[in-house]
């Protein structure tokens, strides 16, 4: 594996290789969820590229940019073990040189959920992913369903702007007790972490209510909200929506998703589960 910093170095490494390119962008502090994207990029392509870049543009003014956990050496080891060929770790100056003024914005899909509580977040994500895509020019790119709205926004952008990149969404990786893996879990105190389990537990309750025939999206959303709040978390949102449009469920909906964000102590956690189709994303069978 080679590690590169500049876009020119990245491009010359890419030019030296032949075949299809698979790409997994991340913000680092890697866990098994990230590594599953790397494995897919490795398995399905001739060249596997990963990036690590903590993107300032997607953090709000009072968010955790400075505190965001970092471990470049540990990350490089994990990427190498996962079979990554090129690990790209650009600097902020490289990505946003002085005078940089262009932003990419997806409308509609970014209005609700995380877009409501983090109004500039998705513009930061779509701008950086556009730049990463232009630099790497992958055939395929890999994202986690953990960030469900982000995946929907990136699919939309890729289609609307004719990137010609195949986007793959991969299942949520969880700890044995059900907590969705996240770099931000590093912020959790042991009390925060114990309380956070209510999120995946309540999503599991929703799945059994769905299996029992409950189809009232509002009732399901209220169950999700009530469960999470009863567990002592501060709710940001809990909604049951059309899994493609992120609009209210309609008779034409092909899939239904339950999505939530909640604060455990000072840490904002995201989770979701697809209710309407066989779902590998909430495999909690080992934790009855
Ligand atoms: P991040 O480093 O948090 O920006 O995440 C980079 C990529 O890893 C995104 O596509 C995330 O959706 C994905 N990811 C993060 N956590 C998980 C997880 N627990 N399971 C699967 N994918 C994940």
User: Does the beta carbon of 269 lie inside 6 Å of ligand 1?
Assistant: no
Centroid of ligand 1 to alpha carbon of 16 (angstroms): 29
Structure confidence at residue 284 (pLDDT): 38
Other C-beta atoms lying within 10 Å of the C-beta of residue 275? 24
What SS3 state is found at 179?
coil
Centroid of ligand 1 to alpha carbon of 174 (angstroms): 11
pLDDT tier, 287 (very low <50, low <70, confident <90, very high otherwise)? very low
The model carries a pTM of: 0.95
Asked about 34 being catalytic, the answer comes back as: yes
pLDDT tier, 209 (very low <50, low <70, confident <90, very high otherwise)? very high
Contact partners, residue 68, CB within 8 Å, separation at least 6: 27, 29, 54, 59, 183
User: Does the beta carbon of 26 lie inside 6 Å of ligand 1?
Assistant: yes
Centroid of ligand 1 to alpha carbon of 27 (angstroms): 9
Above pLDDT 70, what percent of the chain?
Answer: 96
Structure confidence at residue 35 (pLDDT): 98
* Mean pLDDT on 177-186: 98
Average pLDDT over the chain reads 95
Structure-block tokens of residue 246: 């992120």
Smallest CA-to-CA distance from 64 within 186, 195, 192 is with 186
Kindly give the number of the ligand 1 atom that is closest to the alpha carbon of 146: 12
Kindly give the number of the ligand 1 atom that is closest to the alpha carbon of 180: 19
In this predicted structure, the answer to whether residue 238 has a pLDDT above a threshold of 60 is yes
- Per-residue model confidence as pLDDT tens digits over 145-167: 999 999 999 999 999 999 999 99
In this predicted structure, the answer to whether residue 286 has a pLDDT above a threshold of 60 is no
* Mean pLDDT on 256-277: 96
Structure confidence at residue 285 (pLDDT): 35
User: Does the beta carbon of 42 lie inside 6 Å of ligand 1?
Assistant: no
Centroid of ligand 1 to alpha carbon of 214 (angstroms): 30
Centroid of ligand 1 to alpha carbon of 213 (angstroms): 31
Structure confidence at residue 109 (pLDDT): 98
- Per-residue model confidence as pLDDT tens digits over 21-76: 999 999 999 999 999 999 999 999 999 999 999 999 999 999 999 999 999 999 99
For ligand 1, atom 12, name the residue with the nearest CA: 144
- Please report the beta strands in 44-193, taking only residues with DSSP state E, as ranges in sequence order: 47-52, 86-88, 140-144, 166-170
Spatial distance between the Cα atoms of 233 and 270, rounded to a whole number of angstroms: 12
Contact partners, residue 212, CB within 8 Å, separation at least 6: none
User: Does the beta carbon of 193 lie inside 6 Å of ligand 1?
Assistant: no
User: Does the beta carbon of 110 lie inside 6 Å of ligand 1?
Assistant: no
């Amino acid at each position: 594996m080679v590690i590169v910093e500049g876009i020119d170095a990245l491009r010359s490494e890419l030019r030296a290789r032949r075949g299809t390119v698979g790409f997994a962008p991340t913000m680092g502090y890697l866990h098994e969820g990230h590594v599953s994207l790397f494995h897919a990029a490795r398995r399905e392509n001739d060249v596997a590229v990963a990036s690590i870049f903590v993107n300032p543009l997607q953090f709000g003014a009072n968010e955790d940019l400075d505190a965001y956990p970092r471990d470049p050496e540990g990350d490089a080891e994990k990427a190498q073990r996962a079979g990554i060929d090129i690990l790209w770790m650009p600097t902020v100056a490289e990505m946003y040189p002085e005078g940089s003024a262009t932003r990419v914005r997806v409308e509609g899909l970014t209005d609700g959920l995380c877009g409501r509580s983090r109004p500039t977040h998705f513009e930061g994500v779509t701008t950086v992913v556009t730049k990463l895509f232009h630099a790497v020019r992958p055939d395929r790119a890999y994202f986690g369903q953990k960030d469900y709205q982000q995946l929907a926004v990136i699919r939309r952008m890729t289609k609307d702007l004719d990137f010609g990149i195949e986007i793959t969404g991969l299942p949520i990786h969880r700890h044995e007790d059900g907590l969705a893996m996240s770099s931000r879990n590093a912020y959790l105190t042991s009390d925060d972490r114990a309380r956070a389990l209510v999120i995946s537990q309540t999503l599991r309750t929703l799945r059994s209510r769905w299996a029992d025939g409950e189809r009232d999206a509002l009732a399901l959303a209220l169950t999700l909200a009530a469960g999470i709040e009863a567990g002592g978390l501060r709710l940001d949102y809990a909604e049951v929506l059309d899994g493609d449009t992120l609009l209210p469920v309609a008779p034409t909906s092909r899939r239904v998703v339950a999505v939530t964000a909640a604060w455990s102590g000072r840490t904002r956690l995201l989770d979701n589960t697809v209710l309407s189709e066989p779902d590998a994303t909430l495999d909690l069978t080992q934790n009855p």
